[in-house]
Amino acid sequence: MQYEYEINELEKEDSWRMFRIIGELVGGFDSLSDIKPAISIYGSARLKPEDKLYKVTEEIAHKLGKMGFSIITGGGSGVMEAANRGAAAAGAKSIGLNIKLPEEQVANIYTTRSITFNHFFVRKVMLVKYASAFVIMPGGLGTLDELTEVLTLMQTYKIKPFPIVLFDENYWKGFLDWLRNKSLAKGYISEQDLSLLRVCQSPDEVTEAIYRWYHKHELAGKQAVTR
């Protein structure tokens, strides 16, 4: 009887969890409906402000913000903080989508709009839904998770093939070589999948790639961006 009681309680908890998830989705949609065009920037939360990559990330976000893009990040430290900092300095909408964790992730102070989520997958939906391009800075497991998820969504035509920019060829070389020499060689992915990725070495390369793609594919009926 005790076992049956515990199962019933778990089922009730699952039912209420569903409503909490719906509430997070609705709240996210309501809060972010006005931020397009936007760019999501991913990367390591462990990056330090004195690191050269921090300044580079800040510059990329600043340039994109000046062009007219909102900047979306996971709202935490490291690359996220640098991107939000650059966006805020550019006067752009600086969006932070924070997550509740056992070791609390502190929201950075450079967001002009911050939302905190309980569920990773709801947060991921928001990071993808409003983006017109993705900039992937060097990072760890979370960054790889977000990168491969975006690739999978494009590969399976769940979202349009927006630019996915990998910053720093040296950092991503091993990953790209593995994709070519293992996954592609065995037929697990296609050349078309790899073509979704482009590697850039400077902030100007990043912004030029996104600007050109946006003006070619996305501008009709949408807010103009400038250089």
Q: Amino acid letter at 49? A: P
- Nearest CA to 77 out of 45, 116, 43 is that of 45
* pLDDT number for residue 138: 98
Q: What is the pLDDT of residue 18?
A: 84
CATH number of the structural domain 2-217: 3.40.50.450
pLDDT beneath 50, residues of the chain:
1-7, 220-221
CA proximity to 124, closest of 89, 93, 99:
99
* CA 110 from centre of chain: 17
CA 215 vs. chain centroid, Å, equals 21
pLDDT computed for residue 19 by the predictor: 85
Residue 171 CB burial class (10 angstroms; 0-12, 13-18, ≥19): middle
Enter the pTM of the model.
Answer: 0.89
Q: For residue range 96-109, what is the model confidence (pLDDT) as tens digits? A: 999 887 765 678 99
According to the model, what pLDDT value does residue 107 have?
Answer: 86
Give me the amino acid identity at 23. Answer: G
Residue matched to tokens 């593995």: 178
The chain-wide mean pLDDT, for the chain, equals 90
User: What integer pLDDT is reported at residue 12 of this predicted model?
Assistant: 60
